[in-house]
């Protein structure tokens, strides 16, 4: 089973949003999905302008993970979200 973390950044005017989704496997974060969406006004639905999917690559507009734009602040925020869910508790014997 894999843990997933995602981060969505929306523009101040609400007309653009970007989502990065990572899955964690053996203590390593892997980019699973990226979506860049825009809309002409708040009355309209979002339209996908660019996307990347590790599994469903055939539908993606970005085919190579190396071409996905990942700003410097994204990965630390994903890490902070994940580590914020971790906790310690004493071992319980059966």
62 backbone φψ class: left, alpha, beta (φ>0; ψ -120 to 50): beta
Number of domains in the chain: 1
| Ordered alpha helix ranges (H), the chain | 74-83
CB 37 within 8 A of CB 17: yes
Distance CA 61, CA 68 (A): 10
In percent, the amount of the chain with pLDDT more than 90 equals 49
47 within a domain of the structure (yes/no): yes
94 within a domain of the structure (yes/no): no
Instruction: Tell me the residue range of the domain where 34 lies.
Output: 3-83
User: How big is the chain, counted in residues?
Assistant: 94
- Give the residue-averaged pLDDT of 61-72: 89
Predicted pLDDT at 1:
54
Predicted pLDDT at 11:
96
79 within a domain of the structure (yes/no): yes
Distance CA 83, CA 24 (A): 12
Q: Tell me the helices (H) and strands (E) count for the chain, helix number first.
A: 1, 4
48 within a domain of the structure (yes/no): yes
pLDDT tens digits for range 2-48:
688 899 999 999 999 999 999 988 888 899 999 999 999 999 999 99
77 within a domain of the structure (yes/no): yes
């Amino acid at each position: 089973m894999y843990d997933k973390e995602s981060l969505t950044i929306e523009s101040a005017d609400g007309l653009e949003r970007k989502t990065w989704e990572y899955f964690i496997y053996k203590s390593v974060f892997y980019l699973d999905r990226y979506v860049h969406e825009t809309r002409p006004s708040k009355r309209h639905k979002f339209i996908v302008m660019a996307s990347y999917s590790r599994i469903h690559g055939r539908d993606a507009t970005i085919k190579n993970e190396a071409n996905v734009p990942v700003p410097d602040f994204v990965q630390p925020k994903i890490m902070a979200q994940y580590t914020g869910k971790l906790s310690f508790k004493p071992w319980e014997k059966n």
